[in-house]
Copies of this chain bind each other. A is one copy, B any other.
Amino acid sequence: MPRPSNTAERRAQIARALLKIMAERGYEGASIGAIAAAAHIAPGLVHYHFESKREILLAAVALLAQDHRDRLDRLLAAAGDDPAAELRAFIDAHLRVGAQADPEALACWICVGGEALRDDGVREAFAGALEGAVQRLVAIARRGARARVFSLPRAEIDAAAAAVVATLQGYFVLAATARHLIPPGSAADAAWAMASGLFGLSPATRRASR
């Protein structure tokens, strides 16, 4: 009569504790002891559920990415079938700060980017999440192009999507480190102007979606 395994929840609990600490102290600053304390468990338990600290990071990145995907799914679903609306929703999901803004996730995401420089596993996860975003945009662009809502050459879709993702990522960094450089409320609009320009949205529609 063994006790039912709770490993899955524990792992998530620990990974979330890492995110919490990492947001304010960085990955290196998130000691196993601090993580355990944040998760309200004994330090030794951490390494019962994870091989190494790095594994926790990988799990945490996966959580972060999943959370983000989920949120995006929700917000894009509300955009219905209109590619322009989807594009706008995509941008707003990333840049509209409001009730659902999550500064912790933002800080973590930047930390993860830093770790990705040195750890292939992290890089893969990080790049994977970015790629996911790019592919969503590509899908939106293709549908929009087919529906003649966008008018950009097939060959430029990838570049346009990457540019949009880069802009969003860059805004993250600015928002987290030099917020005063972004005129309040301007981020989403500027990104939208830029994206709709790249996607070849007609000026009329463009303005309508502001």
Contacts and interface: CB of A to CB of B under 8 A. Distances in A.
B110 A113 contact: yes
A147 interface: no
A58 interface: no
Which interface class (under 10, 10 to 19, 20 to 34, 35 or more) fits A? 35 or more
Interface in A143-197: 156, 158-160, 162-163, 165-174, 176-178, 180-183, 186-187, 189-191, 193-194, 197
Given A118-B26, A189-B159, A198-B190, A126 B177 contact: yes
A162 B177 contact: no
B118 A176 contact: no
Interface of A: 24-26, 28-29, 107, 110-111, 113-118, 123, 126-127, 130-131, 134, 156, 158-160, 162-163, 165-174, 176-178, 180-183, 186-187, 189-191, 193-194, 197-198
